[in-house]
Amino acid sequence: MQAHPVVPGFHPDRVLLLFGLAALERKNDVQAGVTVAVGEDGQLELFEGAQCPLFLLDAKGRVLHANRRSVTLTGFSKAKLESGDIRSLIVPFPWDAMTEQLRRGRDRAETVRAPGRLASRSGTSIDVEVVARRVDSGADEPVVLVLAHDIRGEHALRDRVRRAVSGRERERKRIARTLHDGTIQDLLAAVMTVDGLLKKELRTLTPLAQDTLQQLREELSATIEAMRDMIGRLRADELESGGLVPALESLLSRTRGPTRDVTFRAQDALPELTRESEFLLYMIAQESLQNIARHSQATTVSVELEAEGEWLSLTIADNGVGFDTPGSERAAAQLGALGLQGMYERASLLVGILQLTSRPNSGTTVSLCVPLSVVASVPTPGCSTLH
């Protein structure tokens, strides 16, 4: 793996906390999040892999480090970026406000936000939102972490989600109609045929034949109910009628059983989400809870939905038997785990970070963090931390 420059004492978990993944820290999963982002040698892969330009500055505004995205977006070489002053790259840069934050000290430092224009090699300036904050690195002087959020991509991301979900919803509803109007009707006809045989030919049937037909009828009826349940999941009717929170509550209630306790907590006053984002979040939760019901043997299940800073997090945890988790969509596909592959794929559409944490006999936790800038009806400017 290529080595990346590291500021002494500057830890990736501070980046996680600064840009909105505090939900991971509260659940004591910071190390799990860092493991996803950091290479074997401990380099700041989180910093390098961010989808928006990130810069580390010294106390005089000089660029110490620039990540890969800053190079690709501006067209300048890494050496060029790291030999300059941030005030020549982003105009205007809120340096007076940032100087005040440096003067205040760590305990009173706040995030500085301002609009700006990022220079590029082509000569065309890029509209960005600047988000800057003092970070105590453990070195003699604090450093400044600057995020230059390319606001041009905001609409593109949301349009991509809208188009993808719209196409998938149409296909899911088409499949649901086909199952209802075709497959289920055929199964109902088969049940009627069996009923007719049992009624008309009862006297001529042997006891074994009667038992066989009765068993066939029961299996056909069970298949019909399973198909109806599948149609309901394909259509996501609960989501359409009540929104995400009631739909999650309904999903969780079906996971409850005589030996399984379930709990649900949704933050008060959650931001309003787009319909397409609610659909993808619901499908991820549905697949996770379905896996719990089928495979986990769990006695407790919890679901949490909350927003903090610029991120929305969905966490589903159980105390079941656990399993060896694939670490990516590709790994899930190689294992033939289509359900897990679908979860990764939907998280990717939301520009989110999906983590599956599990070990045999130690339960499973599904953690999803998605940027509100992508999922909220009224977007909150932000940046996806991982590509």
> 164-209 pLDDT, tens per residue?
777 677 776 788 788 777 888 888 888 888 888 888 777 788 888 8
Q: How far apart are CA 140 and CA 59, in angstroms?
A: 11
Helix H or strand E segment including 32: helix 30-37
What pLDDT is attached to residue 89? 95
Residues 220, 304, single domain; the answer is no
Q: Domain holding 59: CATH number? A: 3.30.450.20
Radius of gyration for the chain, computed over Cα atoms and rounded to the nearest angstrom: 26
Range of the domain at 246: 239-387
Residues 227 and 247 in one domain: no
| Confidence at residue 135, expressed as pLDDT on a 0 to 100 scale | 73
142 in any annotated domain: yes
Same domain, 180 and 246: no
Least confident of 56-60, 169-173, 340-344: 169-173
Alpha carbons 212 and 47: distance in angstroms, whole number? 65
Cβ atoms 309, 24 nearer than 8 A? no
Cα torsion angle, 375, 379, 383, 387, sign: positive
- What pLDDT is stored for residue 137 in this prediction? 55
Domain boundary among 183, 207, 235: 235
- Same domain as 122, residue 30: yes
Residues 275 and 380 in one domain: yes
- Band of pLDDT at residue 263, cut at 50, 70 and 90: very high
**What local confidence, expressed as pLDDT, does residue 10 receive?**
38
Does one domain contain both 167 and 279?
no
- Same domain assignment for residues 244 and 379: yes
Asked if residue 6 is part of any domain, the answer here is: no
**Most confidently predicted of 11-20, 279-288, 347-356:** 279-288
pLDDT at position 136: 64
> What single letter denotes the amino acid at residue 264?
F
Task: Please report whether residue 5 resides in a domain.
Answer: no
244 and 196, same domain (yes or no): no
Do 146 and 224 reside in the same domain of the chain? no
- Indicate whether 92 pLDDT > 70: yes
Distance CA 314, CA 308 (A): 11
Answer yes or no: is 198 within a domain: yes
pLDDT at position 39 is 35
pLDDT digits (tens, 9 = 90+) for 3-47: 333 333 333 334 433 443 332 233 333 233 322 333 333 335 567
Q: How many helices (H) and strands (E) does the chain have?
A: 17, 11
Same domain, 62 and 183: no
292 and 216, same structural domain? no
Same domain, 22 and 134: yes
> Is the Cβ–Cβ distance between 317 and 365 less than 8 Å?
yes
Higher pLDDT, 255 or 229: 255
Question: Residue 266 — φ and ψ, nearest 5°?
Answer: -120, 135
Answer whether residue 264 is part of any domain: yes
pLDDT surpassing 70 at residue 381: no
pLDDT at position 378 is: 65
61-78 average pLDDT score: 92
4 within a domain of the structure (yes/no): no
Give how many domains the chain has, as a whole number: 3
Domain stop point among 190, 215, 235 = 235
Closest among 260, 335, 336 to 298, alpha carbons compared: 260
Q: CB-hemisphere CA count at 13 Å for 62?
A: 7
pLDDT at 367 (0 to 100): 92
Classify residue 163: in a domain, yes or no: yes
Give the CA dihedral 54, 58, 63, 64, nearest 10 degrees: -80
Q: What is the pLDDT of residue 80?
A: 95
Chain-wide mean pLDDT for the chain?
77
User: How do residues 93-144 score in pLDDT, each as one tens digit?
Assistant: 988 888 887 777 666 567 788 889 999 999 999 988 888 887 765 556 777 8
Q: Is the pLDDT of residue 79 over 90?
A: yes
Residue corresponding to tokens 């005089």: 60
* 300-328 per-position pLDDT tens digit: 999 999 998 788 999 999 999 988 887 67
Domain membership flag for residue 1? no
- The domain that contains 259 carries what CATH number? 3.30.565.10
Q: What's the pLDDT score for residue 37?
A: 33
Answer with the one of 192, 208, 235 that is the final residue of a domain.
235
